[in-house]
Amino acid sequence: MTDPIKGKHILLGVTGSIAAYKAADLAGKLMQAGAVVDTILTKDAAEFVTPLTFRSLTHRPVITNLFDVDSELAIEHVGLALRADIVLIAPATANVLAKLAFGIADDALTTTILATRAPILVAPAMDAHMYDHPTVQANLHTLRSRGVTIIGPAAGRLASGLVGMGRMVEPLTLVEYVRWNLGKHGDLHGKKVVISAGGTEEPLDPVRMLTNRSSGKQGYAVAEAARDRGAAVTLVTAPTALPDPIGVNVVHVMTAQQMHEAVVNAVHGVDVVVMAAAVADYRPASAADQKMKKGPSDSMSIDLVKNPDIIGSVNGPFIKVGFAAETQDLIANAKSKVISKNLHLIAANDVTATDAGFGVDTNRVILIDRAGRIEELPLLSKYEIGHRILDRVVALLKPGA
Ligand code: C5P
């Protein structure tokens, strides 16, 4: 199991907002993720961006007009509606929202949408005053109550010069929404998963801390992969530079003790616990209230006390997966952690490699299970690594595994 977008038919509806130019980027990103993208442009959208742009990016015919005899898709828009695994209208104007709310079918896009039974995602984009208008709000309410997913709009500077709600949500985020929706009935549907990520920060005083080089990328990628297989995911994360993944319940913590408390609170009734966080083994015995001053002595020492072993201390009827970031004796160290922390599986990686481990988007891990079986994975994206780990988790969740 991999990216749920791969091979799926996505019907992309583009309507006449200035944000239509971003829809070209969106079409490209969906294509790169492996989707088959069919685009319908409204007449007004085609004023902002040409059908040729989408045709070039998606390598597929683009519909602008139901009666366009030159378009092979025009005559079979109902077939297109039925074939779609998901519909994404981005950007969606106030006008198209009104039409969808009232079932008006006066062009290729609105006609096709009435004919589809696929999930519909809508990313509104319009001026802030238009968005605030009670009519638009009422139409959004109607669409939501019928199961349409409304994404955004985001706040910020608008083409009109106003600052407010009305910007189309960014293409990368829209791709995440598509993944999340397509994956809802995946092999972790109905399962609860808790994941830890990031490097904990242990304060010495208000301006200094002990931390490590973890970027949080691998833990976040496991969270996204679990979400994309239908799991309900809680991500307990130490500070990172990463945005909160959409569709995931994110709990922000700073220290190992806070992470411990948050994980203990989150694991009740869960099916899987994956601890990808780089947790400080020790913390300063006390943190000063004020910034520590330089003293006359040429040396100083800091008293450290041991932190709780989070994964080692949570036990229950769930699958436990740990990580072992090592700089030497990778397999031997990882094997002993499987036993000492009572894990079902450990993902071991050599963090001295430049293309794997801390900070980068790729990783090379070795999976070791309780029986000592070793599976060496090739260099993969951290998201793909997340899926490979979850493939093993799904197998472990099967009765009798
Ligand atoms: O012992 P070490 O830190 O190498 O073990 C790594 C694994 O244990 C990771 O899964 C990490 O998230 C987890 N861990 C933990 N609590 C700690 C230290 C590590 O849960 N205090």
Closest CA to 39 of 19, 59, 16: 59
pLDDT in tens, 283-304: 999 999 999 999 899 999 999 9
Distance 324 CA to ligand 1 centre (A): 7
Find the domain containing 375 and state its range: 192-397
| Long-range Cβ contacts of 322-325 (<8 Å, 24+ apart) | 322/274, 322/275, 322/346, 322/347, 323/218, 323/275, 323/276, 323/347, 323/348, 323/349, 324/348, 324/349, 325/214, 325/278, 325/349, 325/351, 325/357, 325/358
Do 138 and 215 lie in one domain? The reply is no
Active site residues: 212
- pLDDT at residue 72, as a whole number: 58
What tens digit of pLDDT does each residue of 150-203 get?
A: 999 999 988 888 888 999 999 999 999 999 999 999 999 999 999 999 999 999
- Residues 167 and 223 both lie in one domain: no
Structural domains counted in the chain: 2
The whole-number pLDDT of residue 288 equals 93
At residue 214, the pLDDT reads 93
Is there a single domain that holds both residue 103 and residue 222? Answer: no
Computed over every residue of the chain, the mean pLDDT equals: 94
302 found inside a domain: yes
What is the distance between the alpha carbons of residues 18 and 30, in angstroms, rounded to a whole number? 20
Distance 400 CA to ligand 1 centre (A): 28
Closest C-alpha among 141, 123, 140 to residue 178: 123
Rounded Cα–Cα distance for residues 237 and 389 (Å):
19
Residues 288 and 391 in one domain: yes
CATH number at residue 90: 3.40.50.1950
- Within this chain, do residues 42 and 142 fall inside the same structural domain, yes or no? yes
In this structure, the residues whose C-beta lies within 6 A of any atom of ligand 1 are: 196, 256, 275, 277, 279, 281, 307, 309-311, 322-324, 337, 341
Residue 1, in any domain of the structure: no
Does residue 74 have a pLDDT over 60?
Answer: no
Residues 177 and 203 occupy one common structural domain: no
Give residue 162's pLDDT.
80
pLDDT exceeding 70 applies to what percent of the chain? 97
For residue 22 the two structure tokens come to 């971003």
In a domain, 187, yes or no: no
> Is it true that the peptide bond before 153 is cis, omega within 30 degrees of 0?
yes
- Residue 390, classified by CB atoms within 10 Å of its CB into exposed (0-12), middle (13-18) or buried (19+), is buried
